[in-house]
Amino acid sequence: MPGLLRRFWNAVTGRTPAAPPRRVRGSYDNAQPGGENAEHWAWADSLNANSANSPDVRRALRERARQEADNNGYCGGLIDKLGQDLVKVGPRIQISIPGTDRTLVRRVERAFGAWAIAAGLAGKLRLLDNAAVRDGEGFGVLTTNPALPADGVQLDVRVYETDQVDTPFLDWSDPLAFPGGRLDAHGNVTEWHFLKVHPGSAVWMGSPLDYDRLPASRVLHWFKPRRAGQLRGVPEIQSSLGLYAILRRYTLATLGAAEFAASIAGVLETDLPPGEYATSVEAMDEIDVPRRKLLTLPAGQTAKPFDATQPTTAYREFKGEILTESGQPVGAPRNIATGSSAEYNYSSGRLDHGIYQDGIRVRRHDLRVRVLDRVFRAWLDEASLIPGLIPDGLPLRPAWSWEWFFAGWVSLDPVKDANADDVRLRNGTTTYAEIYAEK
């Protein structure tokens, strides 16, 4: 504060104003402006999750992810592998109702299992997960399918692509509206908007801007949120797309160099001075070489094989490192991302599989809460209306509880696993129920 103003302040208020706060400059190297930092983080921003994942951004990412998955065997194979390991052949439900005959409970479990097979539930769950990894999110709508057996539950899960979940002419001034749906005052999604026609369809039925408003209670939204408040998903492999592109370009370049080298049998060299040729052969001429013959060479010239240097010895290692990094966004270890365990021994394979399986267990927990439990409750609502499907005399639903079980993992060493189970049973650290549930 200038001296004159400070004296005026002292005279009026009778006190001295506090000195202005000093500007503290942090010492973090990565927070400094300019230089390499400015170039490396040129696209860094402070957008919130939904602004950063705008419709245009999500569209560009999913289109590129689909193109890569369709043309890169490693990328497409990893997406399929994740869905298969998550769902396996389909979850099995085990219901517990206190004070109820187990045979009655088994009737309910078998009825749900029969419906799940008829509705193709396992395949639709794998499709939802594939969409989340590749497209960013998958949508399932709880609907009625008359094609299912008329004497049973006709509930069905219809899977939609994320492209079809959108709001034409969105009112951006409405704080509760977002592309594809609407929120309540507490931030919960209350409705989703489904276009009646896929925007990429070649068949147009009515107006392409017509859409249905579906209550959120009927919609299954499967995606992996990475930021607080995130409403729409981006491909889980999006941070690997650049790596997969590098891998394909490197593979094609290596193949091109190898094909070029393989197409040249050899070269002719001469010791004659420039401009002097013993024959009419000019530089870069092609010469046909007969098979299984003795050859003579022009005076002053020698023949040498063409030295092919591709692929280099580092080719395999480079691909392995790129693929290892590409699998990290989805928690896939090296042998899952590359599809090969040739470099593994038993201990390293078991360690990596243990970490990978823990990630799958976390993913299965989310699948139970956000998808499977809701599907079962919807099935139970309809099954209760069909005479004889749910046994009479069962307690009210609040007394029910259930668990979901998936097919177990293939044992890397059945003998060691069996001995470990035997030891744990004898010291009381496990039960037969837990062991069989894992299998």
Neighbours of 207 (CB within 10 A): 11
| DSSP labels, 125-178 | HHHHHHHHHHTS-EEEEEEE-TTS-TTS--EEEEEE-GGGB--TT--TT-TTEE
Query: Please, what sign has the CA dihedral across residues 21, 22, 26, 32?
Result: positive
Vertex 301 angle, CA 297 and 304, to 5°:
85
Phi/psi at 194 (5° precision): -115, 120
Count Cα atoms within 13 angstroms, Cβ side, for 364: 21
Of 363, 408, 369, the C-alpha closest to 133 is 363
Please, are residues 433 and 115 in contact by the beta-carbon 8 Å criterion? no
* pLDDT single digits (tens) 323-354: 999 999 999 999 899 988 888 877 787 888 88
Which neighbouring-strand residues pair with 181?
178, 192
User: Is the pLDDT assigned to residue 434 strictly greater than 60?
Assistant: yes
Which neighbouring-strand residues pair with 264?
none
- Percent of the chain past pLDDT 90, that is, above it, reads 54
Give the pLDDT confidence score for residue 360 in this predicted structure.
95
Give the pLDDT confidence score for residue 341 in this predicted structure.
84
Give the pLDDT confidence score for residue 135 in this predicted structure.
97
Of 403, 399, 378, 434, the C-alpha closest to 100 is 399
Task: Output the pTM of the full model.
Answer: 0.82
Neighbours of 439 (CB within 10 A): 12
Which neighbouring-strand residues pair with 195?
211
User: Is the pLDDT assigned to residue 58 strictly greater than 90?
Assistant: yes
**Tokens, residue 313:** 């010895």
* pLDDT single digits (tens) 350-386: 888 889 999 999 999 999 999 999 999 999 999 999 9
Which one of 75-79, 204-208, 261-265, 300-304 scores highest in mean pLDDT? 75-79
Cα–Cα dist 13/176, whole Å? 48
One-letter identity of residue 423: V
Peptide bond into 311 cis (omega under 30): yes
